[in-house]
Amino acid sequence: MNFGKFIILFLLFNITLTKLHSQFVDKDLIQFSGVVVTSDSIQPIPFTNIILKNTRRGTVCDYFGYFSFVAQINDTIEFSAIGFKPGVFIIPDTITKNRYSLIQVMTSDTILLPQTVIYPWPTKEQFKEAFINFEVPDDDYERARKNLDLAELKQRVNNYPMDGSMNYRNYIEQTTSKLYYIGQTQPITILNPFAWAQFIKAWREGKFKREKK
């Protein structure tokens, strides 16, 4: 009989102890909510990581920087987001209610990455070969000079016969000239001083000499 009373008293003691522990734990638990914003423009920081220090528990803010989860008094909360300095907040033990709200302000952080130089050549030998054999393209001045080089232009005319496009252009110019002078007297080429100058120049160069057979 004494053994039965001992069992009953032991069970009652365990139940009472469990209720007291539950009340004590529930008293430390709070609903921790808030929003994470920037320090300069008070704009929400979406998807900020929130971790309870020295634990594996935590959460992530939504798109508007809002968060809410269950925590305990004296918990250390760590906030981290890319481009911002980490933030830390300790839940005070002076809380009288089971809810606590926080506006966590985070400062922007500038991250300087090391310099990276990308070369199109995998080795120094290939770079040296490409540098030695590199052909510097002509600039605008050089291209204009070549286009205005009369000697080169004459050489091209003398060395290369007229192709189809040049013949077509010559035909169109002659046809246009005839249409231009319709209804009026066309000027006589023999009185053209430029034509005479070309004739005299060609005569002095000996272009009219007969070839000996």
pLDDT 10s digits, 2-28: 545 545 544 454 555 455 444 444 557
Domain of 133 in residue numbering reads as 124-203
**Residue 150 has what pLDDT?**
61
User: Is the pLDDT at 57 greater than 50, yes or no?
Assistant: yes
> What value does the mean pLDDT of the chain take?
77
**Domain final residue, candidates 106, 134, 150:** 106
| Same structural domain, 144 and 74 | no
| Same structural domain, 99 and 167 | no
Q: Does residue 13 fall inside a structural domain?
A: yes
Maximum pairwise Cα distance, the chain: 156
Dump pLDDT digits (tens) for 101-131: 999 999 998 878 888 887 787 888 888 888 8
| Same structural domain, 6 and 102 | yes
pLDDT band at residue 212 under the 50/70/90 scheme: low
User: Is the pLDDT at 153 greater than 50, yes or no?
Assistant: yes
Read off the CATH number of the domain in which 69 is found.
2.60.40.10
Mean pLDDT in residue range 84-99: 90
**Residue 161 has what pLDDT?**
61
| Same structural domain, 28 and 87 | yes
User: Is the pLDDT at 50 greater than 90, yes or no?
Assistant: yes
pLDDT band at residue 197 under the 50/70/90 scheme: confident
| Same structural domain, 89 and 168 | no
Q: Does residue 78 fall inside a structural domain?
A: yes
Q: Does residue 118 fall inside a structural domain?
A: no
User: Is the pLDDT at 182 greater than 90, yes or no?
Assistant: no
pLDDT band at residue 162 under the 50/70/90 scheme: low
Q: How many domains, the chain? A: 2
Mean pLDDT in residue range 59-77: 92
Report DSSP letters for the chain, one per residue.
-HHHHHHHHHHHHHHHHHHHHHHHHHHHEEEEEEEEEETTT--B-TT-EEEETTSS-EEE--TTSEEEEEEETTPEEEEE-TTB--EEEE--TT--SSEEEEEEEE-B---PPPP----S-SSHHHHHHHHHTPPPPP-HHHHHHHHT-HHHHHHHHHHS---HHHHHHHHHHHHHHHHHTTTSPPPPGGG-HHHHHHHHHHHHTTTTPPPP-
Q: Does residue 213 fall inside a structural domain?
A: no
More confident position, 24 or 57: 57
